[in-house]
Amino acid sequence: MRRFWISLLVLLFIFTNFALAERTVYADQGGVAVFMEDGEVGLVDARGEIVLPAEYEWIEPFADRSVAIVHRKDKMGLVRRDGSTVIPCEMRRLSCLEDSDFVSVVSHDHSWAWLFDTATGKTVIGDSQYDHFELCQGRLIAERPSFSRWDDNGGDDIYDLQGNLVLHADGNVVEYADGLAIVTVDFTRYDLIDEAGNVLMKDMTSLHLENGCAFYTWREENSTDPVCHFGVRYADGTQIEQKADVDYAHIQGPEAPYCVWVGEKHGYMDEMGALMIPPIYDNAFAFVNGAAAVREGDRWYLIDTQVQRVGDLEWQWQWPEYPQMDQPVIPVGIGEGIRLIDRTGAFVNDEVFVGGGKNSGRFIGDRWFMLMDHNAATCLVDGRTGDVARRVHLEGWTYYPSGAFWAQMDGLWGQLNLSGTSGDWVIEPCATMVNGLEGGGWQVNLSDGTGVCMDLAGQVVGPAPYMSEEDEW
């Protein structure tokens, strides 16, 4: 009997300690949250019921997806919010295609890969020798490893969203738009191919798709003739071409008249391919809102589409001296300072910024640029209005294609909001290191020496491994 009571007490002790095991529950992610217990993580629902047992090392944020990537022993898997397994945690690599439900999966031994649609639960592209997938205008670009692209079955492929092969390219697909693909074998010559496999243009020295047009240049291969042909091929197949006795030519959009670089000079070509003005400018930017900045010698000024001067303003230097395609506001150098002007040549405000500085003159995405004020603060300027959204003393910065702007102050990184006009902190400076995660959200080293996962709003939604310097960015 005594042995019975001792055994019972031991069992009670074990169960009591099990019940009292410390559980940490992190921020809610749409009705589900990561919890940690005994050093491993799982998922609980809004009632606190376990939907996924704590058997993983860490779980990436769900972000705006219905699935999350789980990690265990250097392997990756995919789970839903209800805890069901989509892909077992046995894979070497998972990559979520941006703005889609597609996930690229690589097997644990790198022997095969496939593309999975999490919305339908079906494999879109099966066992393959691809190493990368990209979503572009309703098409899936499937890329082979560089060492196999030129084999008998090499080259990239284009699929529709149901996984049907649309085009096999005998080379690398470097650009796709409006049913047209630019393909190259050696990155010195480029072909334009439609989805039926028809070669529309061949052996161009440069080729670029924009607004339904193909801008191109070509020269005879191995020719000593310096004549360079350049032109535009329109969506209806109409092709207009010019030629010049130069080594190089390039056409730049996005709106007509197009800026043409011929040798070391710049001119403009109209929509019909005729040169509106010969290449006489030392530098020139594309037209935006009917006006473009051009330089003759050391004088910058604005011209309209009729190649007439816009206003009387001239400036001595452009900061920076390369084109930003679609910014209505232009930073210009006048005297020793920088002013902001619009496309009518009028000053946007009275502020004078300072030239130079490691952050000044940098463009961020397609809207923002940075200038420095007289207090050595970096100003985030809205290129559409000229408004200063934020003034910060930056030590460093990085910009993600998703639109996230991380800034470093006093040794710590935080994320600024550049989606609106406020420039407020989305995530206050708190991180010593940040890494963007495949499924969305961030892996962050906090200043207290711990690693966490943050969602897009900056909430801590789970633990994460503490990164070394080799993992940064």
Instruction: Give the residue among 277, 304, 274, 271 at the shortest CA–CA distance from 289.
Output: 304
Domain annotation covers residue 412: yes
The pLDDT value recorded for residue 13 is: 45
Mean pLDDT of 229-252: 75
Mean pLDDT of 29-43: 96
Q: Is 67 helix (H, G, I), strand (E, B) or coil?
A: strand
How do strand 330-334 and strand 291-296 relate by DSSP bridges?
unpaired
Cβ atoms of 245 and 227 closer than 8 Å: yes
Q: Is the pLDDT of residue 106 over 60?
A: yes
Domain annotation covers residue 429: yes
The pLDDT value recorded for residue 356 is: 67
Q: What average pLDDT does the structure give for the chain? A: 84
255 vs 239, higher pLDDT:
239
Rounded Cα distance, 298 and 315, in Å = 8
pLDDT, one tens digit per residue, over 137-179 is 899 999 887 644 444 456 889 999 999 999 998 889 999 999 9
The pLDDT value recorded for residue 80 is: 94
Q: What percent of the chain has pLDDT over 90?
A: 38
Domain annotation covers residue 458: yes
Q: Is the pLDDT of residue 16 over 50?
A: no
Residue 124 in tokens? 């879109």
Which residue in this structure is represented by tokens 């407020």? 424
Domain annotation covers residue 425: yes
Q: Is the pLDDT of residue 108 over 80?
A: no
375 vs 107, higher pLDDT:
375
Region of residue 53 (left: phi > 0; alpha: psi -120 to 50; beta: else):
beta
Residue 312 in tokens? 């009387």
The pLDDT value recorded for residue 259 is: 81
How many other CB atoms are found less than 10 A from the CB of residue 433? 17
Domain annotation covers residue 438: yes
Helix (H) or strand (E) segment spanning residue 75:
strand 75-80
Buried b (16+ CB within 10 A) or exposed e, 263-283: eebbbbbeeebeebbebebeb
Rounded Cα distance, 199 and 183, in Å = 10
Q: What percent of the chain has pLDDT over 70?
A: 84
Cβ atoms of 192 and 212 closer than 8 Å: no
The pLDDT value recorded for residue 234 is: 83
The pLDDT value recorded for residue 3 is: 54
Domain annotation covers residue 261: no
412 vs 357, higher pLDDT:
412
Q: Is 13 helix (H, G, I), strand (E, B) or coil?
A: helix
Rounded Cα distance, 84 and 78, in Å = 9
Rounded Cα distance, 388 and 378, in Å = 10
Whichever domain contains 434, its CATH number is: 2.40.10
Q: Which residues lie across from 192 on neighbouring strands?
A: 182, 201
The pLDDT value recorded for residue 376 is: 87
Domain annotation covers residue 348: no
Mean pLDDT of 365-370: 80
Mean pLDDT of 48-55: 96
Band of the pLDDT at 471, cuts 50, 70, 90?
low
Domain count, the chain: 1
The pLDDT value recorded for residue 10 is: 45
The range of the structural domain enclosing residue 456 comes to 396-473
Mean pLDDT of 5-10: 48
Domain annotation covers residue 421: yes
Residue 171 in tokens? 């080379």
Q: Is the pLDDT of residue 446 over 60?
A: yes
Rounded Cα distance, 69 and 118, in Å = 12
Instruction: Give the residue among 229, 237, 219, 300 at the shortest CA–CA distance from 269.
Output: 229
Band of the pLDDT at 18, cuts 50, 70, 90?
very low
pLDDT, one tens digit per residue, over 288-304 is 888 999 999 989 999 99
Cβ atoms of 427 and 454 closer than 8 Å: yes
The pLDDT value recorded for residue 319 is: 67
Rounded Cα distance, 375 and 203, in Å = 53
